[in-house]
Every structure is written in C-alpha cells, then in structure tokens.
Amino acid sequence: MKQFMFLFKGGDDVWDAKSTEEQSAHMEKWMQWIGQMAEQEKYVGGERLYPTVKTIHPGGKKITDRSFAEAKELVGGYITVLAETMEEATEMAKECPGLQWESSVEVREVWPDEA
C-alpha cells in the first residue's frame, strides 16, 4: 500500500455562508466518508486548517498576509490515506463531500519512508 494525501482546496466562502446546522450536517458526511475508509483500514490521519495565511516568500525576507493563491486555491486541510495505486486513490477522493460545497481535491502520492 502506498500513502496518498488528499489536499482540500477552496470552498471557504460556501462554508461561511451556511448555518451551523447545515455545517454540522455536512461534517456528518465527512465522518461517514472518512469513517468508511477507516473501517477498511485505509485512513491514516489528517487535519483541518484555518483560512488565515502568512506566506514567507523565497529568500525568507518578504512576508505577506495572504497566499499567492486565489481563495479557491487555498488549502483548507488534508488527510492521508492508503491505496494501491493513484487510480484507486482518485476514485476514493471522488466521494469527498467537500466537492458538493465547491471544494476541489488534489490527490498526491506521499514519498515513502526510506526502507
């Protein structure tokens, strides 16, 4: 099994516009999605990120309060999962509930630990 990381991007505006009830109903879907992967022992872990950004630019001297990216490119969080292939991981990512709320998911393979 290889490790893949799902990067969730954008969707913060949609999230902010929803009511608390809608938000927790939405998180319920996240739990089912991740819960299913966990049941199949394919879930490794992950974190959610606040939208506040400070970017340190190359050279390390210039710091800005926003990222380079557009709001929809802003990484809102990530989870790590196990899959045999990139294709399988991509299929898994298609079920992400965030896709319904204008998030996109970027699937990336994680460099393996040195054996």
Partner 1 sequence: MVAVLIKIFGTENIELAEDVVQDALVSALETWKYRGMPDNPRAWLYRTARNKAIDIIRRKKHSKTIDFSDPERKLLTSEYTLASTMNDFWKEQHIQDDFLAMMYACCHPDISQENQITFILKSLCGFSTKEVAKSFLTTEDTISKRLYRTKEYFRKHKIRPSIPFPKEIGTRTSVVLSAIYLMFNEGYNSTHDDQLIRKDLISQAMWLCKSLLDSERTQLPEVYALMALMCFHAARIDSRITEEGALILLADQDRSIWNTELIALGSKYLNQAAFGDTLTTYHLEAAIAYQHCTASSYDATNWKEILRYYDLLLKIDNDPIVFLNRCLVLLELNGPEEALFMIQEIKDHKILNKYYLYHAILGEIHERLIQPDEAIKSYKLAIELTQSKSEKKLLSRKIAHILN
Among 24, 55, 64, 85, binds partner 1 (CB under 8 A): 24
**Does residue 48 touch partner 1 according to CB under 8 A?**
yes
Among 27, 56, 69, 71, binds partner 1 (CB under 8 A): 27
**Does residue 106 touch partner 1 according to CB under 8 A?**
no
Nearer to partner 1, 20 or 59 (CB): 20
Site for partner 1 in 61-90 (CB under 8 A): 77, 79
Q: What would the 3-class secondary structure string for the chain be?
A: CEEEEEEEECCHHHHHHCCHHHHHHHHHHHHHHHHHHHHCCCEEEEEECCCCCCEECCCCCCEECCCCCCHHHCEEEEEEEEECCHHHHHHHHCCCHHHHHCCEEEEEECCCCCC
Nearer to partner 1, 1 or 56 (CB): 1
**Does residue 38 touch partner 1 according to CB under 8 A?**
yes
Among 21, 39, 65, 113, binds partner 1 (CB under 8 A): 39
List, in order, residues 6 or more apart from 62 with CB less than 8 Å away. Answer: 56
**Does residue 15 touch partner 1 according to CB under 8 A?**
no
